[in-house]
Structure 1
Amino acid sequence: MLSVALVSLAAASTAYGAALAPRATCSDGTVVSNAQCCNFIAVRDDLINDIFEGQCGEFAHSTVRIAFHDAIGFSTSGGKGNGADGSIIAFGTTELGFAANAGIDEIVEELQPFADAHGISYGDVIHFGSSVALSLCPGAPVVQTFIGRGNATVAAPDGTVPDPFNPVTQILSRMAEAGFSSDEVVALLASHSIAAQDQVEPAIARSPFDSTPAAFDSQVFLETLLKGTAFPGDGAHQGESESPLPGEFRLESDDAIARDSRTACTWQALALDQALMANKFAAAMAKMSLLGQSKPSLVDCTEIIPKAAAAPLSKAFFPAGKTLADIEQSCATQTFPSTLSTQAGTTTSVAPVPEQ
């Protein structure tokens, strides 16, 4: 009798699980948990082929950037915009005029007509698009991805996006207002591993933040801890700090957060553990994409997001010409280890990210 009862229980459990997760087969044969995800398979493929051109390049980087700038216009107490709703496109005449959003108009010019042509909301093209963009960057994690956002109804106000010249306390305060801890702020900055600057210093546009901008890896966390160097013809500008390598650009905010007692140990931990960096980033990014949204009203389409290739290297390294002696130890409770390898050669010079 007991075995019969167990079999019956197992059958009932299987039937209950099936009821909770109905499957649908899309026209291309892909099986998904919700039929609404079928519509986004073509969106995914067209983003990869037509917008990103199959590479972890400038437009992919910019789509990850616009996801942050769109969503962070939010406050847990209200009055700061509606979060991840695509308002940065819908109300572009307002939000693109904010200083912190300089340069985002270029990716808006790509994503707005794309969304219109595919009949999807601006919020979805940004936040679904960000996950698709990351899938092209070796080492990037798969971020939990939802679709079904409605159209934005209000613009986010100015001052919600942290600037690279803001003091750490101001940045952490603004992010806390949106619901993020200091550790989550550091995790989100992993996006700088595939980023470059255009507007902080336009004369050296597309200068990357680390020496491996085509890979989502922990190199940006390590290289930000290296001592800065003044290079010939390289002056200091608002928002910029001295970088350790020719051609590399270091944001003042990254430099300060890497060395602040509230964030330094998390920064060092992510520099030393690429898997940890990817996991923490994925969690923080998914949280950000839901700001201001009702999760139960959205559809989880994570299963159609491609998995990125593995990063070329599994851990950070000292660039050529740099050693442990160049690290500015900032975490008071954990000494930076001496076991990392050093790149061959004498000097690393970082090339600009190619224009797309």
Structure 2
Amino acid sequence: MEKILEVNHLTIDFNTFASPVHAIRDVSFHLNKGETLAIVGESGSGKSVTMRTVMGLLATNAKIEAGEVKLEGKDILKKSEKELNAMRGNDVAMIFQDPMTSLDPTMTIGKQVAEPLRLHTKISQKAALKEAVRVLELVGIHDAARRLKDYPHQFSGGQRQRIVIAIAIINHPKVLIADEPTTALDVTIQAQIIHLLQEIQHKIDTAIIFITHDLGVVAGIADRVAVMYAGKIIESGDVDEVFYNPQHPYTWGLLEAMPTLETKRDRLYAIPGTPPDLLDPPKGDAFAPRNRYAMKIDTEQEPPFFQVSKTHFAATWLLAPGAPTVELPPEIVRRRKIWAQKHPSQEAAK
């Protein structure tokens, strides 16, 4: 498949009064045309910072120490502010988590949806508002023409999120970044928004990066998954590989903590401990202090990526030659059995 976005060895520090926070540490991934890549991890893992870098929206105290971010082969990090303004909302657009902070309460919905179109084209206001109606109808806002003069507070939470999506897609971006777009919504509305994003993807032929901490959401939308922890990607693969044949203990913990219809425990599992302080990242594997399977080498050396399949990679010493076989959590055993049934010719890694 053709790559539309490539992030290579991205390293970002944030200058603070104490010392630099090493927020993004050698992150690499790519996005293919027309696919959906989900980036998963706890709060503070670096998901949103990475995506804001793609948008050219880093805070003033951020410093890019290394790496490149290429959109269709051109490095975004080398673009001028004028070039970035031309790119944002046109080639790359972002759907933010909270629609109420994304929408201007003093401006009508019609003007807000039409604004990106007027910024990037020479279209008239009348034509832009006509297109705004079409896009609002596309995202499921009923009687859109009549509601152009309404304000954000006159819509429900789910409707506001649909309006934010309309603003993001009105210029048919090549890459659409959805930053926790369903977190503030109830389960029913979440499902509607995910289905809407899938429909839009097919209609406007865009590639989507879906940022979330909820693996349950990922299963219904992603083609590939990248798991982030402490500013690094620690596992990546096709959605089935990460869900049913996971290799990193952190991914195991995320899946254990996710309730399913098969969950029989009285209490949900929670990964013990807290993420490391990135003012001073730990030596070795950053997940080692929370890892019930940690070995001595985990505290001494950072694991490289080990290849599980053509598309599946994980950075854990448990995949190293000679590593001990560990007793897997029951939830991971259950998922491995499903993997074996789906892929009888492939043996699940230990």
Tell me which interval the TM-score lies in, with the shorter structure as reference length. under 0.3
- Taking structure 1 as the reference length, the TM-score comes to 0.25
Q: Larger % of helix: which?
A: 1
Larger RCO (CA under 8 A, 6+ residues apart): 1
- Taking structure 2 as the reference length, the TM-score comes to 0.25
